Amino acid sequence: MNPKTMGAILLAAVALTGAFAANASAVAWKFNGVPLVGSETVLSRAGESSFAIPGLTTTCKPFVYVVSASNPSGIAAASVTEAPLSNCFTNTKSCIVETIESEALPWAGKVTTVSGSTYLVIQGFKVSILYEGKECALGGVVAVITGSAGGLVNNATESVTFNSSSFTATKTELKALGSKIEWSGLFTMIPTGAHIGESISIS
């Protein structure tokens, strides 16, 4: 066999191995253990969730976002279509949340695997918060939180957890007012469309 033919065979073998590896690591939305066909609306709800700006923490009870889930080409995809925010407050009496709003929806999403764990990554995240209070250092200031956020998927509890560890693992970051923002919350995933009442997983 001549060297050129041998080289072509080796390149083909490497490409095929890569394809097998990609397929082996791919994950899909599943309901009652069956891969999703079409799309499903998934409500993600945390009893409370917080944004920590240096010196000020803002908490919303509850915190909800809505995901349009699908499996294009058999691989899990996601898009955050709604994120209504209300009943939000800070950890100090001097600062109140005058308004809080999710902007630039829908937010793109993807599912990725890092070191054997599955993560939901939200891209294009944007939330604006107007603070008020005569003694509030941020009184009259609009803090616009932007960036990307990675949350750890737990299929056993049908939930996604956002915290500093999940951000580090996915190399994601949120920022506002020139500072890094910590977002924390444990969100239970609940199907609300055709698969309502069924178990949900990304595997």
User: Do you know the residue count of the chain?
Assistant: 203
**Dihedral sign computed on CA atoms, order 117, 120, 125, 128:** negative
Cβ-based neighbours of 159, under 8 Å, separated by 6 or more: 153, 186, 187, 188, 189
What percent of the chain is modeled with pLDDT above 90? Answer: 86
Beta-sheet strands, E only, within the chain: 29-31, 34-35, 39-46, 49-53, 56-60, 63-70, 77-82, 88-90, 96-102, 107-114, 117-132, 142-154, 159-162, 174-176, 179-191, 200-202
pLDDT in tens, 32-83: 999 999 999 999 999 999 999 988 999 999 999 999 999 999 999 999 999 9
Asked whether the predicted pLDDT for residue 16 surpasses 70, the reply is: no
Cβ-based neighbours of 42, under 8 Å, separated by 6 or more: 66, 67, 68, 69, 189, 190, 191, 192, 200
Asked whether the predicted pLDDT for residue 107 surpasses 50, the reply is: yes
Looking at per-residue pLDDT, the higher value among 131 and 20 belongs to: 131
Q: In this structure, are residues 99 and 117 in contact, taking their beta carbons and an 8 Å threshold? A: no
Q: In this structure, are residues 12 and 18 in contact, taking their beta carbons and an 8 Å threshold? A: no
How many Cα atoms occupy the beta-carbon half-sphere of 42 within 13 Å?
29
Cβ-based neighbours of 36, under 8 Å, separated by 6 or more: 28, 29, 30, 69, 70, 71, 195
